[in-house]
Amino acid sequence: MTRLIAYVASAMKSDPNYRICARCVMDTTDPDISFNAEGICSHCSRYDETVHAWNLPKLVSENKLQQTLDQIKAEGQTRDFDCLIGMSGGVDSSYIAWLAWKNGLRPLCVHLDNGWNSELAVANIHRIVKTARFDLFTHVIDWEEFRDIQRSFFKADVIDLELPTDHAIFGVILQLAKKHDIKYILSGANISTEAVMPKAWVHRKQDLANIRSIQKKFGARRLRTFPQVSTVSHVWGMFVQGYKVLKPLNMMDYRKQDAKAQLIKDFGWRDYGGKHYESVFTKFYQAYILPTKFHVDKRRAHLSTLILSGQMSREEALKELSVPLYSDAEFSADREYVCKKLGFSEEDFTDYLRRPQKSHLEYGSDQFVYNLMATGREIFKIK
């Protein structure tokens, strides 16, 4: 396994057109990357533009975060819950819960059990809600239906195998927000650790049409219980139902290592390794499937964001990239577990790895609707 990943990395770098950014560690494994005369990549430029657009220093200096949390608390006094937090057990969502706890908010915490969560991630969630005395709703997904959806995404050969999980999480959150009349959804998404992510490496999470199309073509089951939310219903919820998705971590000087230290101190939170490795499937997907089938090492995006936000040096990031994604023993155990759980034979999985990648847009999509809405928002200057 270690030799295979090393071979893939070597093959990419032997490409005569291979380039790596002089400022971060993004490279030409992103097919859409470009470089300026100084060798600085387009991700760096977009990061600078995003920080400028958010005007982060001003938000922090004006204490915008405290004002926002106070507003949520005041407006939610007559409701059972003043906000909703989706929790995975990872750093970002756990720190959002910490902020809510320290500021006296009364969130409904929501967790999606998709059959892949690590025991450590679940333990982190329970430590937090027990200490903070928060209510926790865990949505246990229908495993047989969800497994069939995941198998369909493998058969489709698309890159974003996490799309069904990410979509379902948001679907459950919106269902609960409507049920309990919750107006504020606090997201752990942030610029400091997540700003860099090539569009070619993921697909838009609200594209329900894409999920339905892939499942119809490859699946053996209908979508009966799978939580669903379309792009149109998402926009309808924001402008008619009136819920707001807020990103508190973008209103502060968010530092990943400081957040971890605080969580360990107050909740007994435990680290699980790589970014989003709170899920067994996500770990195997990011550490093996992506680099092997798609020649993508997501660490480049995560580490590049930390470099740009001043939380890591480029030299430190390059050193981390040299560390194997898996130990041989751990890889063998995880591969056997994932294949068995999904019902793939060794031959099935080997064949999957050898097949060429297909674009999500080769299947049904609501991209046209999304583009139309985006154009309308730009014309009418709707934020």
pLDDT tens digits for range 200-219: 999 999 999 999 999 999 99
What's the rounded Cα separation, in Å, for the pair 197 and 305? 9
Residue 286 identity: Q
What's the rounded Cα separation, in Å, for the pair 367 and 231? 9
- Terminal C-alpha separation, the chain: 46
Integer CA distances (angstroms), 29 to 25, 156, 295, in order: 11, 21, 7
Alpha carbon 111 to its chain's center: 14
Inter-residue contact 134 to 145 (CB < 8 Å):
no
Find the DSSP H helices in the chain: 2-13, 42-54, 56-61, 64-75, 91-102, 119-132, 143-156, 163-179, 191-194, 208-218, 231-236, 256-267, 280-284, 290-293, 299-308, 314-321, 328-342, 346-354, 367-379
Average of per-residue pLDDT across 140-167? 98
Fold of 2-379: Rossmann fold (3.40.50)
Report pTM.
Answer: 0.91
The predicted pLDDT at position 375 comes to: 78
The predicted pLDDT at position 371 comes to: 84
Average of per-residue pLDDT across 266-276? 77
Inter-residue contact 39 to 24 (CB < 8 Å):
no
The predicted pLDDT at position 3 comes to: 44
What's the rounded Cα separation, in Å, for the pair 32 and 9? 19
